Structure 1
Amino acid sequence: MGGKSYYCDYCCCFMKNDINVRKLHNAGMLHTAAKVTYMQRFENPAQILKKERLKKPCRRFFSGYCQFQLFCNYGHYSPEDIKRLEKIVSQQKKGRRRKKGNKPSKKVQNKKLPPSMQSIDINKMKQFNQNLDWELGLNQ
Structure 2
Amino acid sequence: MGGKSYYCDYCCCFLKNDLNVRKLHNGGIAHAIAKSNYLKRYEDPKKILTEERQKTPCKRYFGSYCKFETYCKFTHYSGDNLRELEKLVLARKKRKSRKKTNKCKRWPWKTHLRKGLPPSLQPINPEKLKQTDFELSWG
Q: TM-score, normalised by structure 2?
A: 0.74
Q: TM-score, normalised by structure 1?
A: 0.73
2:64 is aligned to 64
2:108 is aligned to 106
CA shift, 1:106, in A, is 2.9
CA shift, 1:94, in A, is 0.7
In the alignment, residue 21 of structure 2 is paired with which amino acid? V
Q: Output aligned runs, 1:11-90, within 5 Å.
A: 11-90=11-90
In the alignment, residue 80 of structure 1 is paired with which amino acid? D
Residue correspondences, number: 111
Are residues 1:92 and 2:92 paired? yes
Fraction of identical pairs, as percent: 53
CA shift, 1:23, in A, is 1.1
| Cα root mean square deviation, aligned | 1.9
Greater than 6 Å deviation, 4+ residue runs:
none
CA shift, 1:54, in A, is 0.8
What do residues 34-74 of structure 1 show as CA deviations (whole Å, max 9, x unaligned)?
Answer: 10110000000001011111111101001111122222111
| In 1: Cα distance, 2:2 partner to 2:109 partner | 64
The answer for unaligned runs of 5 or more in structure 2 is: 111-116, 122-139
| In 2: Cα distance, 1:24 partner to 1:41 partner | 25
| In 2: Cα distance, 1:92 partner to 1:39 partner | 20
| In 1: Cα distance, 2:17 partner to 2:73 partner | 36
| In 2: Cα distance, 1:5 partner to 1:107 partner | 58
In the alignment, residue 65 of structure 1 is paired with which amino acid? Y
Identify, as 1 or 2, the structure richer in helix. Answer: 1
2:137 is aligned to none
User: SS state of the match for residue 88, structure 1?
Assistant: helix
What do residues 86-114 of structure 1 show as CA deviations (whole Å, max 9, x unaligned)?
Answer: 110010011011111115123499x87xx
| In 2: Cα distance, 1:30 partner to 1:103 partner | 46
In the alignment, residue 66 of structure 1 is paired with which amino acid? C
User: SS state of the match for residue 6, structure 1?
Assistant: strand
CA shift, 1:4, in A, is 1.2
In the alignment, residue 64 of structure 2 is paired with which amino acid? G
